[in-house]
Amino acid sequence: MRLLSSPSAPSVNSDGLAPSPSPSPSTSSSLSHLIASPHGPFELIFTDPTSKPTVILPTIPAVDGISDLADISLVLGILLLSLFSFALIFHLRIRSRQLPHLQNFNSLWVVRLLLVFFACLGAVNEVIRLPFIRQKYLYPLLPSLSLDEQAEICKVHVVLSLGFFEPGFLITLLFLVNESIKTQNPFRTWGVALVCLACSPILLLQSFFVFFPPLEEKLPPYIHASFYLSTDQVGNKSVLCTYPMFSCVAFGVFSVAYSLAFLLSCWRVVAFVINKKIRVRLNMLATSFMILLPLQILCLGLSALWPPAHPTHEYIVLAMDLAFAWCVVIGEVILVIKPIADALDAGGACFAWSPGSRSGRPRSEGKRVDNGNL
């Protein structure tokens, strides 16, 4: 694809790496004129009626150190919390093999593992979106990447973020809430397969909107574009990732349906349990998600209105990342860390030695031990 030259950016050829010669009179008739982008100083360029639009950013402002540092700090915090959750899950798994009475407390260990796994992948995928990380650490490892291939990375980022990792985390969390009140141990492979199957509709929808956007030539770029081609004053070009409005709307529809199912599940569990601490945890979980999910959808929609190099876009995406990070923290603490800690405490209390016991049998004292999933 050939880009028309503009006053603020030099022409580039199909590989985006070298200047292209001026179009001859025989070929200039096939090139369409510049079309002003709704982003103000940003220009949308078409080469022919079937070509894909590319937005040229005249200059790239300095990387916002505060925004990037905050994003990286959030990712590191999520990874540390997830590492601690992994350690607790495997510790309870090992203890349940040594102490058979802990097996009921560990019935959902695979699903908990999947929840933490989705949280880690979502955090790593989000940090790859940062231009500083990609240009400093990713692209030097892959020096042969063309601009088109960098654009494909942005598309994959959007599909994985809004189509698999975050929906997978939310669906796994919903599955844990639903299964927490069941007395029988669920079939673990069935639970993982159910979560992956539930993610397939939103994954396919996001893939369609990102890789095959409808009415691409007739709509503004912020509706369907998942990347922008930018160039600075000295002619250096790079690809910046963003979230298209199509993907934001698709994730919003998913979040509305998910919120209804999540509220219904929390209402069922709260009506079932008697423990006040568990009720407080569930109320905190439901309140947090009912506030943070709409906030994240709002930030997603607003982020599509500004190009990724704009400071407003960066701070909106940072607010969205904060909402996702809090969802991860509250989900892992309430559905992974606290239940496992309670199970280990209950297991130790059940096997406490009494002076009158001769064989080390557990002292039940007539107390009922629940399944330990909440």
Query: Is there a domain that residue 149 lies in?
Result: yes
pLDDT confidence of residue 303 = 87
Residue, of 307 and 119, whose pLDDT is higher: 119
Query: Is there a domain that residue 141 lies in?
Result: yes
Which of these ranges, 74-78, 96-100, 160-164, has the smallest mean pLDDT? 96-100
Residue 371: band (very low, low, confident or very high) from pLDDT cuts 50, 70, 90: low
Query: Is there a domain that residue 194 lies in?
Result: yes
pLDDT confidence of residue 220 = 81
Farthest CA pair distance, the chain = 102
Give backbone dihedrals phi and psi of 49, rounded to 5 degrees, phi first.
-60, -20
CA R_g for the chain: 26
pLDDT confidence of residue 205 = 93
Range of the domain at 200: 65-224+243-347
pLDDT confidence of residue 278 = 85
What's the gap between Cα 218 and its chain centre? 29
Which of these ranges, 78-87, 162-171, 206-215, has the smallest mean pLDDT? 206-215
Most confidently predicted of 57-61, 211-215, 234-238? 211-215
- What's the whole-number mean pLDDT along residues 25-35? 35
Query: Is there a domain that residue 358 lies in?
Result: no
Residue 103: band (very low, low, confident or very high) from pLDDT cuts 50, 70, 90: low
Average pLDDT, the chain: 75
Residue, of 116 and 69, whose pLDDT is higher: 116
Query: Is there a domain that residue 164 lies in?
Result: yes
Most confidently predicted of 143-157, 239-253, 301-315? 239-253
Which of these ranges, 1-15, 210-224, 272-286, 300-314, has the smallest mean pLDDT? 1-15
pTM comes to 0.75
pLDDT confidence of residue 331 = 94
Name the domain count of the chain: 1
Query: Is there a domain that residue 238 lies in?
Result: no
C-alpha triplet 11, 16, 21: angle, nearest 5°: 40
pLDDT confidence of residue 127 = 87
- What's the whole-number mean pLDDT along residues 117-142? 86
Q: What is the CATH number of the domain that holds 144?
A: 1.20.1070
Query: Is there a domain that residue 91 lies in?
Result: yes
For residue range 225-284, what is the model confidence (pLDDT) as tens digits?
A: 888 887 767 777 778 888 999 999 999 999 999 999 999 999 888 888 877 888 889 999
Most confidently predicted of 58-67, 245-254, 342-351, 354-363? 245-254
Q: How far apart are CA 327 and CA 295, in angstroms?
A: 11
Which of these ranges, 9-13, 157-161, 175-179, 308-312, has the smallest mean pLDDT? 9-13
Query: Is there a domain that residue 334 lies in?
Result: yes
